[in-house]
């Protein structure tokens, strides 16, 4: 088990937030997954520069699906960060396990956009993301909305109540 932490964060790599989590959980490297960011070399470079002292890889979803088995087989411990629950759903659909030593999927900021519903502080979801969270829960994942390690949290089940 070499994934030590799985997070959903719509900034993908937010320097100060990643550093904060890396102080709490073991991390030898960060695997960040987003098609749009991976396709933009300038944005990729800027985002990778936001984290000091920890190696960062940025992949599109297809490349992540190809590389994750080797990453999971590694002795080192990695953070896996996806921009959206939809990204993580696609990875699980491809047969890759996101079980991790933190035993849950953490969710950070998800900005308000068109057709989103707010479920918590700076956390909003659209219908596609709602379906993806439902999928992640059905596949045995505990979803925890928590911005930083010692902040208050709520689960997807709690959020689901607000959406009905």
Partner 1 sequence: MINVILATHGSLADALLASSRMVYGELPHVFPVMLTENKGINSFGDEFAAVLKQASKGADGVVVLCDLQSGTPWNVACHHAFNPDTQPPVTVLAGVNFPMLLLSDEIKDLQDVEQATAQLLANTQETLVQATLAETAQSDDF
Q: Could you identify the residue written with the tokens 């297809």? A: 62
- For partner 1, which is the closer residue by CB, 3 or 89? 3
Interaction pattern, residues 16-45, with partner 1; x per rule: CB under 8 A: xx--x--x-----x-----------xx-xx
Contact call for residues 130 and 111 (beta carbons, < 8 A): no
Q: Which helix (H) or strand (E) holds 158?
A: helix 156-163
Q: Which helix (H) or strand (E) holds 162?
A: helix 156-163
d(CA 148, CA 131): 25
70 binds partner 1 (CB under 8 A): yes
Which range binds partner 1 by CB under 8 A, 50-58, 90-98, 136-144, 154-162?
Answer: 50-58
d(CA 143, CA 152): 14
58 binds partner 1 (CB under 8 A): yes
- Per CB under 8 A, residues contacting partner 1 are 14, 16-17, 20, 23, 29, 41-42, 44-46, 48-49, 52, 56-58, 67, 70-71, 74, 76, 78, 109, 121-122, 147-148, 150-152
């Amino acid at each position: 088990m070499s994934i030590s932490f799985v997070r959903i964060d719509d900034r993908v790599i937010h320097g100060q937030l990643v550093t904060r989590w890396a102080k709490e959980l073991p991390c030898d490297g960060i695997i960040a997954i987003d098609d749009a960011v991976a396709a933009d070399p300038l944005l990729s470079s800027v985002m990778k520069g936001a984290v000091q002292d920890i190696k960062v890889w940025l992949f599109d979803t297809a490349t992540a699906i190809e590389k994750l088995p080797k990453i999971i087989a590694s002795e080192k411990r990695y953070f896996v960060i996806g921009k959206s629950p939809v990204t993580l759903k696609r990875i699980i659909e491809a047969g890759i396990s996101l079980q991790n030593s933190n035993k849950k999927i953490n969710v950070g900021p998800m900005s308000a956009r068109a057709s989103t519903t707010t479920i918590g502080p700076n956390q909003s979801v659209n219908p596609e993301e709602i379906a993806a969270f439902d999928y992640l829960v059905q596949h045995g994942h505990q979803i925890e909305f928590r911005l930083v390690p010692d902040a208050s949290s709520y689960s997807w089940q709690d959020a689901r109540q607000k959406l009905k």
